């Protein structure tokens, strides 16, 4: 659920001092954006892995780049927006960083000669790897999601070294990390999709703490801290 933008304030009721207003916070259901974002990641990391492992020729790099630009980046940008609307800054931040990173990698690959590497892109990917560790650490209560984000950080880091050095061994390592990440992203997407569709955990997603109570607790558990969330509190 997401906190509405149009919280309504009315004067205090019976027993309330007139200087203390009663505030109504409007919540509305929002579907989980994680499956959409993870499926976008599955396509991008799998396609780039095929390119890095020479499963397809270097001339197919343009197709892979277009997939990252036209498929993965928009889906993950949409997932980022709905992550924030769903009051989940971890999902919003993680998907936003993924979207920007894949868009950059796709554009550089599209405009570079086939089979070439870019030290500049390598630096960007290394920085993106560090950025991905922020939502991964903050979202540790959702084990599967945190594992995907950590895997994406490793993927960007290894690929960044490969791009910066032009080493064939590092490119191959990046490809195999990309394959592993694709499998993990597909599993997480399926798990979160089934969970949303059936309103219960079907595949193990390693939820714990507040992430576990989000599926098993009551409405009171979900709303107990809503007054302290961005969009409700006075300052970010």
pLDDT averaged per 10 residues, the chain (length 236): 45 51 68 93 98 96 97 97 91 97 97 95 98 95 93 98 96 98 97 87 75 60 63 61
Provide the pLDDT for residue 231: 62
User: Looking at the 3D structure of the chain, how many domains does it have?
Assistant: 2
**Do the domain assignments include residue 179?**
yes
Token pair of 8 as six digits: 């309504």
Task: Identify the pLDDT of residue 86.
Answer: 87
Which residue, 132, 77, 81, 130, is CA-closest to 106? 77
In a domain, 184, yes or no: yes
19 within some domain: yes
Q: Is residue 74 part of a domain?
A: yes
- Residue 204: give its domain's CATH number: 1.25.40
Q: Are residues 10 and 111 in the same domain?
A: no
**Together in a domain, 65 and 182:** yes
Whether residue 130 lies inside any domain: the answer is yes
Measured between alpha carbons, how far is residue 175 from residues 41, 80, 214 in Å? 14, 26, 36
Is residue 67 located within the same domain as residue 165?
yes
Q: Indicate whether 97 belongs to any domain.
A: yes
Residue 58 falls inside a structural domain:
yes
Q: How far apart are CA 44 and CA 233, in angstroms?
A: 37
Give the pLDDT of residue 138.
93
Residue 6: per-residue pLDDT:
46
In angstroms, the Cα distances linking 229 to 14, 133, 206, 234 are: 27, 22, 24, 9
pTM for this prediction: 0.82
Residues 107 and 127 grouped into a single domain: yes
In a domain, 232, yes or no: no
pLDDT at residue 215, rounded to an integer: 60
User: Can you say how many angstroms the Cα of residue 62 is from the centroid of all Cα atoms in its chain?
Assistant: 24
Phi, psi (deg, nearest 5) at residue 135: -65, -30
Q: Which residue has the tokens 């290894």?
A: 158
Q: Residue 74 is part of which domain span?
A: 34-215
Q: Are residues 10 and 38 in the same domain?
A: no
Same domain, 139 and 38: yes
Q: Please tell me the predicted confidence (pLDDT) of residue 103.
A: 98
Asked if 10 and 51 sit in the same domain, the reply is no
Q: Are residues 142 and 155 in the same domain?
A: yes
pLDDT at 1: 44
pLDDT of residue 14: 52
């Amino acid at each position: 659920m997401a906190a509405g933008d149009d919280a309504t304030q009315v004067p205090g009721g019976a027993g309330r001092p007139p200087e203390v207003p009663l505030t109504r916070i409007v919540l509305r259901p929002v579907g989980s954006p994680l499956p959409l974002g993870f499926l976008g990641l599955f396509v991008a990391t799998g396609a780039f892995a095929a390119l890095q492992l020479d499963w397809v020729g270097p001339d197919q790099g343009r197709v892979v780049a277009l997939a990252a630009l036209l498929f993965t980046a928009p889906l993950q940008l949409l997932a980022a927006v709905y992550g924030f609307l769903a009051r989940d800054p971890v999902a919003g931040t993680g998907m936003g960083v993924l979207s920007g990173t894949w868009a950059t990698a796709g554009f550089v690959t599209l405009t570079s000669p086939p089979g070439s590497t870019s030290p500049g892109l390598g630096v960007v990917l290394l920085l993106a790897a560090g950025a991905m560790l922020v939502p991964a650490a903050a979202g540790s209560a959702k084990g599967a999601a945190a594992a995907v984000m950590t895997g994406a950080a490793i993927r960007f880091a290894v690929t960044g070294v490969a791009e910066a050095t032009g080493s064939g061994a590092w490119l191959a390592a990046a490809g195999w990390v990309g394959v592993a990440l694709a499998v993990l992203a597909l599993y997480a997407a399926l798990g979160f999709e089934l969970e949303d569709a059936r309103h219960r955990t079907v595949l193990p997603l390693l939820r714990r703490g507040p992430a576990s109570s989000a599926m098993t607790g009551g409405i009171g558990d979900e709303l107990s801290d809503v007054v302290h969330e961005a969009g409700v509190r006075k300052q970010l």
